[in-house]
Structure 1
Amino acid sequence: MAITDITEFAHLTDSDIDELGRELDRIRRDVEESRGQSDARYIHNVIRLQRALEIGGRALLFGSRYRPAWLAGTGMLAVAKIVENMELGHNIVHGQWDWMNDPEIHSTTWEWDQTGPSSQWKRAHNYSHHTYTNVVGMDEDVQFGIIRITRDIPWRPINLAQPFANILLATTFEWGIALHDWKVTQKAERARGATDIDYLRREFVRKATRQVVKDFVLFPALTGPAWRSTLTANVAANVIRNVWAHAVIFCGHFPDGAEKFTVEEHESETKAQWYLRQMLGSANISGGRVMDFMSGNLSYQIEHHLFPDLPSNRLREVSLRVRALCDKYDLPYTTGPLSRQYLLSMRTVMKLSLPDRFLKATSDDAPETSSERKFRVLSRIGQGVAAAGTADSVSGGRVGLRSALRSLRNR
C-alpha cells in the first residue's frame, strides 16, 4: 500500500524533518520579502505578450482559407491559449500575484480562458489537491475519472478502457478538468452541510456556454466567408492547448518517483512532514527556460507544491535551494526531460488498466507506488542502510532515502 509512515520511508529522524521544515520556511520568507518591481514587470509583460499573440492569431484567421494564414493563425492562437492557461490563469488564480493588490491580476477577479469557472477550480485544486497531495482517498486527482494511477485503488473492469479514455481526456482536457472540479466542489459543499448547490451547476453551464459561443460561434462568424476554416483553426488551437496541459500535468504528478500516501499518514503529519510529502509526491521536468515558460513554470512542480502561492517566475531560483536541501538530507529530487516523464506516466496508465494479477510488483514496491515496507526486506537479509540520522562514512552527509533506494536497486 502507499506510504503509512513518511519518517520511516524518508530514512530521516523527526529532528531532521523539523529542521528541513525550518529551512523551507526560510526560503518562503526570503522570496516573499524580495518580491517587487521586477516581478510585477514580469507578469505585466506576460499579459501583454499573451494578448498580442491572441490578437495576432485571430487577425490572421480572417485569411484562414489560405493555408499559410491558417497555420500561422492556429499556431499563434494555440500558444496564446497555452500561455493564458499555464503561466497566467493557473498561477494568478493560485494567488501568486495577490501581493500586488492589482484588481486585474488577482485570484478573486481573474477568469481564465477555459471551460470551467475559476472559482470551482480554486476549490478543487487550490484546496483539495494542494492540501491533500497524493493522499489516496482524499486527493481526488489521484483517481481522475476512470484513470487508475496507483495500485492502492482497486481495479475495476472499466479500467480496461483507460488507455483510450486517456487519449480522449488529453484532447478534451479543459472539459475533463471542468467536470472534475464541478464534481469535487459539489462533494465539498455537501460535506459541509449545504443543501442548495444548484448554483454550482448554473455557474458551470454559464461559463461553458460562454466559452463554446466565443470559440466556436462568435469568432468564426466574425471572419465571414472564412468561418469554416476559422472554426477548424479554433478547434485545433484548443486541442493543442489541451494536449499540452495534459502532458505537463501528468509529468508533474504521475511519473515514477511521485509517491502516494495513506490517510493515516496524513492525519498525524506536522507542517514539516507536509513539506516532505510535497517533495516526495511531485516531479519536475527538465528542459530550460522555454519549457519553464510554456509550462507555466510547472516544470518546477516540486517547488510549486511546496510554495503554491509564490510567483512562478521565482521558482527557478527556489529550485536551486530545494535541490541543495535534497542533497543535504539525502532525498531524491525527481526530475527528467518531458519525453521521459511522459512515457513513464503513460506506462503507468497502460499498466494499471490491467487487473493486479497481471502485474509483477505490489503496491509496496511498484515503480509508481511504494511504501516503507519495501525497505524492510533489506533489514531482514542484513543489507539495510545505516540508521536514520547517521552520517555517511565517505561524504559525511546524512544517510537518507536516496541511499536507501540505491541499496534497494543494488540488491
Structure 2
Amino acid sequence: MAITDIPEYAHLSSSDVEALGAELDAIRADIEADRGERDARYIRNTIRFQRGMELAGRALIFGSTKRSAWWAGAGALGVAKIVENMELGHNVMHGQWDWMNDPEVHSTTWEWDNTDPSAHWKHTHNYIHHKYTNVLGMDDDVGYGLLRVTRDQRWRPFYLGNLAYNTILALLFEYGVAAQHLELGKKRKTPEAKEQFRRDLADVGKKVGKQVAKDYAVYPALVSAATGRRVGFGRAYRKVATANAMGNIIRNLWTNAVIFCGHFPDGAEKFTKQDVDSETQAEWYLRQMLGSANFHAGPVMGFMSGNLSYQIEHHIFPDLPSNRLPEISVRVRALCEKYDLPYTTGSLPVQYAKSWRTIAKLSLPNKYLSATTDDAPETASERRFKQGLPEGVRLQSELDPATGRRKGLVSAMAALRGRRHRRNARTTAVAEQRRAA
C-alpha cells in the first residue's frame, strides 16, 4: 500500500517536521524579499526569445524549398512551443510573476498556446495536483485516469495496454491535458453536475477548435495564398500544416518526458487520503519533498524544462519565480541532508526510463511482479520498516552518536538494505552447506 503516515515514514517527530517547515518558510521569505529587476528582466527576455523563435520558425517554414529548411523551421517552432508551454504558460499561470503587477505576465490574464483552457488547467493543476500531490484517488495526475502507475491501483485487463496508452498520451499530450478537467469517466447524477459538464465541454471544444484552426487552417491558408503560385497551393498548405503538427508533437513529447520524470521514477512516493486534509503546512512541505523527483540539468535544459528539472523545489514553492529554483535547490538539498531525507534525482534519460519501466511492469497483475505493495520501487509504505517491531511502535528520528547528525529516512533505507543483504547472505550460506552435505 502507499504511504499512510508521512512523518512516520520519514522517521521524523512532529517537532522535527515543524522545524523543517520553519526552515523552508525562511527560504521562501528570503526569495520573496529579494525578487526584483533581475527576475523581471528574466521573464521579459524569455518572452522575447520565445516570440523570436516562433517568428524564425514560421519564416523558415514559409520560405522552405528544401526538406532541411522545413525541419529547421519545425524544430524552431517546437522550441518556441516548449518555452511557451513550460517556462511561460505553466509558470505564469502558477502566479510566479503576479508580484510584478504586469497584466502581460499575470496568472489571471495569461492564455497559453495549448488546447486546455487556462481556467481549467489552473483548477486541475494548481489546486488539485499541487494540493493533493500523488494522493491516490484525489490527484488525477497519478496515471491521468489512463495509466496504472502504482500497485495500489487495482489491476484491470484494460491496463495491459499501458505502454500503448502512454505512447499515444505522449504524442497527443496537449489533448490529454485538455480532457483531464472533464473527468470523462465520472458519473454525474445531479442536473447541476450535468450542466457544469456541458459548460466545461463547450469550453474545451472552443479552445481545441481555436488551436486546430490556427495551426491547421489559418496559417497554412495564409502561406499557401502567398506562395501557392510559386510552389503549388496544396504543397504550400501541406508543408505549413505538417510543420505545425511536428512542432506540437515535439512540444508534447518533451512535456510528457519532463512531467513524468518529476512524478513517476523510483523514489517519487504515493500517498493515501488519510490525514491529508488535516496536515500542517510543514507536513505538506514534507509530502511534496517525498512525492517529487528532479533530473540533472544545466542552464539550457533547465530553461527548456521550465526549470521543472527542479520539480522538488517547484512543488515546495510553486509560486516562486522559476529562475530562482536552481539557487533554492542548494538550500533544499542541504535540508535533506540535515534531516536525513532523500533528494530524488538522476539524469533525464534514467528518470524517464524508470517511469516507462514502471508503466510496463504495472500493465501486469501484482501476482506476476516481484516485491510487494509495501516495498516496490514505484510504491512504498512505512510498513516496510516495521518488520520485527512490536505492534504500535512508532518510528522516530534520533541522532547518530558518531556524527551527531539526525537519523531519518535515508538511514532507515540503508539499514533496511543491510538487513536484507545479511538475510540473503545467511540464506545463501545455508543453501551451500546443504549442498555440501
| TM-score, normalised via structure 1 length | 0.95
Matches within 5 A, 1:47-58: 47-58=47-58
Please say if 1:230 is aligned against 2:240: yes
| CA distances 1:267-321 after superposition (whole Å, capped 9, x unpaired) | 3322111100000000001121111100000000000000111000001111111
Counterpart of 1:370 in structure 2 is 380
Please give the alpha-carbon distance, in whole angstroms, between the structure 2 residues aligned to 1:395 and 1:53. 52
Counterpart of 2:17 in structure 1 is 17
3-state SS of 1:96 partner: coil
Answer yes or no: is the 8 Å Cα contact 1:378–1:408 preserved in 2.
Answer: no
Counterpart of 1:97 in structure 2 is 97
3-state SS of 1:255 partner: coil
Please say if 1:299 is aligned against 2:309: yes
Aligned residue pairs total 406
Answer yes or no: is the 8 Å Cα contact 2:9–2:395 preserved in 1.
Answer: no
Please say if 1:319 is aligned against 2:318: no
Counterpart of 2:410 in structure 1 is 402
- Residues 99 and 191 of structure 1: is their aligned pair in 2 closer, same or farther, counting only changes over 3 Å? farther
3-state SS of 1:144 partner: helix
Larger radius of gyration: 2
Q: CA deviation at 1:332?
A: 0.3
| CA distances 1:183-237 after superposition (whole Å, capped 9, x unpaired) | 28x9799999656312212211111101001111111122213221121111111
Matched to 1:406, the amino acid is A
Answer yes or no: is the 8 Å Cα contact 1:124–1:181 preserved in 2.
Answer: yes
Please give the alpha-carbon distance, in whole angstroms, between the structure 2 residues aligned to 1:175 and 1:70. 25
Please give the alpha-carbon distance, in whole angstroms, between the structure 2 residues aligned to 1:279 and 1:191. 38
3-state SS of 2:52 partner: helix
Matched to 1:339, the amino acid is P
Aligned residues: CA RMSD: 2.0
Counterpart of 2:172 in structure 1 is 172
Q: CA deviation at 1:140?
A: 1.2
3-state SS of 1:147 partner: coil
Matched to 2:104, the amino acid is E
- Residues 363 and 35 of structure 1: is their aligned pair in 2 closer, same or farther, counting only changes over 3 Å? same
Give the unaligned 5+ runs of structure 1. none
Matched to 1:335, the amino acid is T
| CA distances 1:235-283 after superposition (whole Å, capped 9, x unpaired) | 1111111000000000000000000111114133221111000000000
Please say if 1:390 is aligned against 2:389: no
3-state SS of 1:110 partner: coil
Q: CA deviation at 1:50?
A: 0.1
Counterpart of 2:353 in structure 1 is 343
Counterpart of 1:27 in structure 2 is 27
Counterpart of 1:6 in structure 2 is 6
Answer yes or no: is the 8 Å Cα contact 1:6–1:265 preserved in 2.
Answer: no
| Structure 1: 4+ residue segments shifted above 4 A | 186-195
Answer yes or no: is the 8 Å Cα contact 1:387–1:399 preserved in 2.
Answer: no
Matched to 1:284, the amino acid is N
Please give the alpha-carbon distance, in whole angstroms, between the structure 2 residues aligned to 1:346 and 1:321. 30
Please give the alpha-carbon distance, in whole angstroms, between the structure 1 residues aligned to 2:158 and 2:331. 43
Q: CA deviation at 1:365?
A: 0.3
| CA distances 1:121-163 after superposition (whole Å, capped 9, x unpaired) | 0010000000000111111111312201011110011000111
- Residues 178 and 191 of structure 1: is their aligned pair in 2 closer, same or farther, counting only changes over 3 Å? farther
Matched to 1:232, the amino acid is T
Matches within 5 A, 1:191-270: 196-197=195-196, 198-224=198-224, 225=228, 226-270=236-280
Matches within 5 A, 1:154-173: 154-173=154-173
Please give the alpha-carbon distance, in whole angstroms, between the structure 2 residues aligned to 1:189 and 1:291. 42
| CA distances 1:59-95 after superposition (whole Å, capped 9, x unpaired) | 1111233112101111110000000000000000111
Counterpart of 2:139 in structure 1 is 139
Q: CA deviation at 1:115?
A: 0.7
Identity between Structure 1 and Structure 2 (%): 60
- Residues 209 and 27 of structure 1: is their aligned pair in 2 closer, same or farther, counting only changes over 3 Å? same
Please give the alpha-carbon distance, in whole angstroms, between the structure 2 residues aligned to 1:158 and 1:206. 31
Q: CA deviation at 1:328?
A: 0.4
Counterpart of 2:424 in structure 1 is none
Please give the alpha-carbon distance, in whole angstroms, between the structure 2 residues aligned to 1:348 and 1:124. 24
| TM-score, normalised via structure 2 length | 0.89
